[in-house]
Structure 1
Amino acid sequence: MKGLDSVAPMRAQGTADLIADQLRERILDGSFAAGEPINEVHLAARLEMSRGPVREAVQRLVQEGLLTSVRNRGTSVVQLGQADIADIYQGRAAVEREAARVVINREHSELLTALDGVILQMRAALKGRSWGEVARADLKFHQTIVDAAQSRRLSKMFSTLVVETLLCIHMFENIYDPPEGIVAQHQRLIDLLRAGDEAAYLSEIDWHLKNSVKTLSAAEPTAN
């Protein structure tokens, strides 16, 4: 299902949070295409809700960068270009490098155990060729490291970048080619964390993120 048809009615008492969650998921799974208009009146009717919480949810997604609002032209799903992709990954590099500097100099055995678990999730998703789950495991890996730095602001900034990264990934096909390479890349990051080699880790994360930009820039757009 596409667009409004993908949104389920909310007959129980709803909130802007619940509406925003449903819209966010439908944007990230491609039910709403890039550039697709979001009409609050039609959306409220589909959800069987008043316009108040719908308007609040839409504005929340505008703040998150998933929707864009232009005066006299309405609201639509954001369209990301090559410059946006590079900018998103530049932001990720700044956050992930700082988080790594903090984490690598602390006791991080629990973090390593958590990352090993994410690798298992990644392998399972790859085995099932569930590319959406692969992408989420990929980003969960990086979010886990950032959260281990125990900086509320770093985690908050990275959460926004995760959403934008998922949107980038969904725009393109065949970004995990060869698919098994993603496990090896992330295992390398774990090994460098375990070794406590800060310089090598920072060099590896720089390569990892720059390679992602290169891969996304060369990928074919997903057919809608």
Structure 2
Amino acid sequence: MVPARRRGLADEVADRIRDAIFDGGYALGSPLREVELAEALGVSRGPVREALLKLEREGLVRSEWHRGTTVTALSDEDAAELGSLRAALDGLAVGLVVDRAPEEALAAIDAVVRRMERATGEHEMVRCDLDFHDAVYAAAGHRRLREAWQAIRSQVHLFLLTRIGAATDGYLASIPAEHRELAAALRARDRETALALFAEHRRQAFDVLSGRTD
């Protein structure tokens, strides 16, 4: 058997790098150099290397022999694939929430909407957006569905960062209202309306990326 290794430090380093990416400290496509990261975090290169491998599995960074490691910049194909997969996952989640979500799960969704209404910056709003969908998938009560969402969550976060990088006009004002409508449809157990609103929510973000804002 391979000897056990202490992975706590690598996990902590991964958390720090992930947070820096999500807070805008590292722009999409920017390089991540092991030596610089190790010095900044006060650790050796070993935990940094392990952390970058973990983040690569999440889809947050990409490693190429001639370029080193960079923060993932989503291509049009990446965005399209994420969108189609989210559509499938959202469809199942919405149906399960409408059919069987308990009151406390719906209340948790409503609570995230109230947090969104108090958000003061784009990055905080993006985190609230992800938290909203976390709450929806939790309310679905389907473990494997929730795990499937978690597997792409970091990449969806990158997608939302790409979206605010493309345009921020009206973003802080419009996103809470969108999510209030989503939450209201789920609470009303209105499957058809909820599915339509979730689809429109995804479409609007893609339209911003493609320059279609009308």
Query: What TM-score bracket applies, with the shorter chain setting the length?
Result: 0.7 to 0.9
**2:45 is aligned with 1:51:** yes
1:190 Cα deviation after fit: 1.8
Of stretches 160-169 and 22-31 in structure 1, the one that deviates more from structure 2 is 160-169
2 CA distance for matches of 1:209 and 1:120? 21
Deviations 1:78-108 (A, max 9, x none): 1212332222222221111111111211143
Runs of 4+ in 1 over 6 A off after TM superposition: none
For residues 120-173 of structure 1, what are the alpha-carbon distances to aligned partners after superposition, in whole Å with 9 as ceiling and x for unaligned?
101111xx3x11111111221111011122223222222243322222232315
TM norm structure 2: 0.85
Structure 2 CA distance for aligned equivalents of residues 87 and 45 of structure 1: 36
Is the deviation greater in 165-174 or in 28-37? 165-174
Partner residue, 1:212:
205
Q: Distance in 1 between matches of 2:141 and 2:199?
A: 22
**Larger helix percent:** 2
Farther off after superposition, 200-209 or 80-89: 80-89
Distance, in Å, in 2 between the alignment partners of 1:107 and 1:33 is 38
The aligned amino acid for 1:52 is G
Given that 1:88 and 1:165 are in contact with CA atoms closer than 8 Å, whether structure 2 keeps it comes out as: yes
| Equivalent pairs, count | 204
Aligned partner of 1:141 among 105, 125, 132: 132
- 1:201 corresponds to 2:194: yes
SS for the counterpart of 2:172 is coil
Say if 2:60 is the partner of 1:69: no
Of residues 112-121 and 155-164 in structure 1, the stretch that sits farther from structure 2 once superposed is 155-164
Match of 1:189 in 2: 182
Give the AA of the match of 1:179: L
Look up the match of 1:82: 76
| 1:161-180 map, 5 Å | 161-171=152-162, 172-175=165-168, 177=170, 179-180=172-173
Find out whether 1:98 has 2:92 as its counterpart: yes
Corresponding residue of 2:4? none
Judged with a 3 Å threshold, the aligned counterparts in structure 2 of structure 1 residues 16 and 94 are, in CA distance, closer, same or farther, namely same
Q: So what's the TM-score if we normalise by structure 1?
A: 0.82
* Distance of aligned partners of 1:218 and 1:204 in 2 relative to their CA distance in 1, 3 Å threshold: same
Q: Is the 1:169–1:216 contact (alpha carbons within 8 Å) kept by the matching residues of 2?
A: no
Which residue type is aligned with residue 79 of structure 1? A
Percent identity over paired residues: 36
Counterpart for residue 9 of structure 1: none
Q: How big is the shift at 1:174?
A: 3.4
- Conservation of the 8 A alpha-carbon contact between 2:166 and 2:208: no
Q: How well do the aligned residues superpose, as a CA RMSD in angstroms? A: 2.2
- Residue segments in structure 1 that go unaligned for 5+ positions in a row: 1-12, 220-224
Name the amino acid aligned to 2:131: K
Amino acid at match of 1:55: R
